[in-house]
Amino acid sequence: MNSEEYEKSVLEWRKNDDAKLRGENGWLSLAGLFWLNEGTNTAGSDSACDILLPPRAPASFGTFEFDGKNVSLRVADGLQAEVNGKLVKRAVLKSRQDPKPSFITFDGLRMVVHKHNGRSAIRIWDNLSPARESLAPREWYPIDQKYCFRANYTRFKEPVKANLPNVFGDVEEWQMTGQLSFEFNGQTHALDVTEQDDGSLFVQFKDSTQNTYPPGRYVYAQPEKGTQYTLDFNIAHNPPCVFTPFATCAFAPKQNHLKAAIEAGEIYTNKH
């Protein structure tokens, strides 16, 4: 495509990404992430609750029972909530990572069991949150087509373990499925990636720019033909933990720290 068409496509992508960020059950709707303790975990708007809901919620919404593996919900007397659209008083919950997760809905709130790095939590969305509309405009580098690469993907014979730092200051183990290589400024660069269900490759990378998010950024490489992928850094974006304290972000492994400056994609302004 010509430069005008290309710029239009990037701007459209950015517009759609912003809509997802602000949308119902999007990252800006997140209102809590509470790690479960074994036994009874109380939930409600009362400050004494283990799982704190927004002020409009009942002081006591109910309890989440956790036996170290399974989580069950018991709704407080006089209240009813829905799990996947069905009214319930009690329910055994399937986590977000299950093929058929159990989503709890109540008065504009949405909750789910979220498993991360061997721990279980209750993740909460508040679709009435003003944060969905109050986000400061995101800032981006000028669009430059030289940062859109034809990259080659080499799948590993077996997934390779990688230790990734995360937003909690911990290290978590990922399974990297292959390596994506591209040419820039006369040098070959390689990034370890993970294959996604839609055929794209998830890339967590860090580069030498000074005005981007220090732990790194994300970008999805799109499949073309055979082992060829489009790696477009003009749509590289900040991880969701830039916008909410309730995201569970993992950052670029050491092998994905580029010495090159990728002056494309989203800038970090610390306004969010």
Q: Is residue 28 within 8 Å of 243, Cβ to Cβ? A: yes
pLDDT, average across residues 190-197: 97
What pLDDT score does 233 carry? 99
Q: Which residue has the tokens 């283990």?
A: 50
Report residue 270's pLDDT band, with 50, 70 and 90 as the boundaries: confident
Token duo for residue 206: 């860090």
3-state SS assignment for residue 119: strand
User: Rounded to two decimals, what is the model's pTM?
Assistant: 0.90
Beta strands 71-75; 90-93: pairing state = antiparallel
- For the chain, domains (ranges, CATH) are 27-133 (2.60.200.20), 137-256 (no CATH)
What pLDDT score does 272 carry? 54
Q: What percent of the chain has pLDDT over 70?
A: 99
Q: pLDDT tens across 205-249, in order? A: 999 999 999 999 999 999 999 999 999 999 999 999 999 999 999
Q: Is residue 90 within 8 Å of 77, Cβ to Cβ? A: no
Angle (nearest 5°) at CA 140 between 135 and 144: 155
